[in-house]
Amino acid sequence: MFTFTNQFISNDNNVEFLKANMMGPNAMRVAEELASYLNINEDMRILDLGCGCGLSTLLLTKKYGASVFAADLWICPTENYERFQSIGIDDKTVPISVDATKGLPFANEYFDLLFTVDAYHYFGDKTEMLPSLIPYVKKGGYIAVAVPGLKNEFGKNVPLEMQPFWNDEMERTLRSLDWWKDLWSKAKGIEIVDSREMACCKQAWDEWLTSPNPYAINDIDMMKAENGKYYNLVQLIAKVI
């Protein structure tokens, strides 16, 4: 399943690139697992929403030859353009600044696939977000999301060992697979075709902890306390009907 990611990190320079550009659980590996449930090809136009530094964009362009609009809020498009030039994917990508909560600057039915890795939980936790995104995807196209989450909802019973790390943003964004399925089942115009816990969960989190990113260093003690008991990666795929 992870042929591209494993091949990519067999080169030491690529490992440094990956460590420098991860912003959470290894987005290239997570993207590769999510993509394995879709039929992506070089004729497709994909919106990579919340692309961050573009690790998922790199996977979609290099492994599948797809054209990708790499859209993000925090990372400036010029920075992504320079990065895309440095890795030879600038001809396949359009870096663009968007805030998904403010509406997207695209035509209706423009994309074959809306793909989002480790970002949707920041902006997609309200009932109205999914219906606001559906119009940008062609009928018969797909919306595919992978997000960090929980094996089971904590509710008010945050485990003792997690309490030093838990905060309001985590409470809002880290949800169980059932929670996401319930939210998505309220949307009209889609059919949920896949929802599951992801196989790469431990590996993607472990790879993130090797990054020099201060957030990764900060996460080391949290992941030691968590010890594989609570955190998850969940994916949902919906077909636009």
Ligand X SMILES: C[S@@+](CC[C@H](N)C(=O)[O-])C[C@H]1O[C@@H](n2cnc3c(N)ncnc32)[C@H](O)[C@@H]1O
Pick from 69, 123, 184, 208 the residue near ligand X by CB under 6 A: 123
Q: Is 117 in the site for ligand X (CB under 6 A)?
A: yes
CB of 156 to ligand X, least distance (A): 26
**What minimum distance in Å lies between the beta carbon of 158 and ligand X?**
22
Is residue 143 a contact point for ligand X (CB under 6 A)?
no
Residue 180 in the binding site for ligand X (CB under 6 A): no
Residue 23 makes contact with ligand X by CB under 6 A? yes
Least separation, in Å, of the C-beta of 172 and ligand X? 12
CB-wise, 161 or 223, nearer to ligand X?
223
Q: What are phi and psi of 86, to 5 degrees?
A: -65, -25
Instruction: Output DSSP code: residue 38.
Output: S
Helix 55-64 and helix 27-35, axial crossing angle in degrees, nearest 10: 40
Contacts with ligand X, residue ranges (CB under 6 A)? 22-24, 27, 50-53, 55-56, 72-75, 98-101, 117-119, 122-123
